Amino acid sequence: MEISDGFIGAVGNTPLIRLRRLSEETGCEILGKAEFMNPGGSVKDRAAWAIIRTAERRGELRPGGTVVEGTAGNTGIGLAHICNARGYRCVIVIPETQSQEKIDLLATLGAEVRTVPAVPYRDPNNYQKVAGRLAEGLDNAIWANQFDNTANRDGHYETTGAEIWRQTEGRIDAFVSATGTGGTLAGVARYLKERRQSIRIVLADPAGSALYNYVLHGEPAASEGNSISEGIGSSRVTDNLKGTPIDDALVVPDQEAVPMVYRLLREEGLFVGSSTGVNVAAAVQVARRLGPGHKIVTVLCDGGGRYYSRLFNAAWLAEKGLAASG
Ligand code: PMP
């Protein structure tokens, strides 16, 4: 397939990249699914397209309609691109604490950005709930609802999971991933487990997230600390994550994830964001636990270009007590 049909045709089918130095070091084959190569720049292009195509198929979204979502991150960017490509209006509701960079980017992509006060999820004025109500009040509109709309994980089952299985020719021992909505981990884990039950599924959690305890003890409970990683970690078990077959979990502190981002840049030539640092650091830990000779796949979620003012800003890192080398 040399030619992709528009933006949407270019979503997915990303390369699986062998991380050469880390593979050499561990004696395992550590492979990263290059999601930063999606046309909107992140793994969330897949979820955005899955949610929109499912709504179209169900007749919930018709030509000229509106897509509403509460998100400050990659999902909003993916939705804005796809709305442009399909002729939809895109409304993004975000908490006012989000950086101007993100608001500007979404506006440049043509999304209508509505900022609301930053209040917790249980508050009815939380940005996600505002997005839901806004969509309800509009004709021919959907609330993307990436956390609990299982079209998200189904999209990853159909594409990301199937691609990993095909690209490794079924020779895969473990899949390791952090989760935000749970879409990536749930979709890929389900696909791989259906093919071979013994493939190990490992959740990588940033500090402060409740999912490590959920996997190990059955109850979500926040771990200690607070991570700089954006888009991953959760205080609750989303509908996308519910029922996912997960064998193990580990917590990756920023002190490990950040140096890994810089190693990927300097040693592998890959410019990625901090959730990728969490994923790859976790994949290396899994490689060490399993021992040499195993094949481990993880996700390279997005590119580093979205994080100049933070992860790639030495003064900001120092303020957080973090350093580029571990
Ligand atoms: N990394 C980044 C940078 C993200 O924006 C997201 C999405 N929130 C993830 C990882 C996690 O993906 P998912 O929502 O599929 O769990």
Same fold, 8-37+160-318 and 43-143: yes
Tokens (6 digits) for 208: 């402060």
Domain 43-143 carries which CATH code? 3.40.50.1100
pLDDT in tens, 261-296: 999 999 999 999 999 999 999 999 999 999 999 999
pLDDT given for residue 1 in this prediction = 65
Tokens (6 digits) for 88: 């939809």
- CA 43 to ligand 1 centroid distance, Å: 7
With the most atoms of ligand 1 within 8 angstroms of its CB, the residue from 158, 179, 275 to mutate is 275
Crossing angle of the two packed helices 44-57 and 74-86, in degrees rounded to 10:
50
pLDDT in tens, 299-319: 999 999 989 989 999 999 999
Q: Which residues touch 88 (CB under 8 Å, ≥6 apart)?
A: 52, 61, 64, 65, 66, 67, 82
**Check: complex ipTM more than 0.95:** yes
Pairing outcome for strands 248-252 and 200-206? parallel
Q: Give catalytic status of residue 44 as yes or no.
A: yes
Q: Which residues touch 139 (CB under 8 Å, ≥6 apart)?
A: none
pLDDT in tens, 117-170: 989 888 999 999 999 999 999 999 999 999 999 999 999 999 999 999 999 999
With the most atoms of ligand 1 within 8 angstroms of its CB, the residue from 153, 203, 301 to mutate is 301
Q: Which of these CATH numbers, 3.40.50.150, 3.40.50.1100, 3.90.550.10, 3.40.190.10, describes 8-37+160-318?
A: 3.40.50.1100
Q: How far apart are CA 262 and CA 232, in angstroms?
A: 19
Q: How far apart are CA 275 and CA 233, in angstroms?
A: 9
Residue extents of the structural domains in the chain: 8-37+160-318, 43-143
What kind and span of H or E run contains 156?
Answer: helix 151-156
Average pLDDT over every residue of 174-191: 98
Catalytic: which of 44, 129, 193, 295?
44
Tokens (6 digits) for 89: 């209006």
180 lines ligand 1 (CB under 6 A): yes
What global pTM score does this model have? 0.97
Greatest distance between any 2 Cα atoms in the chain: 57
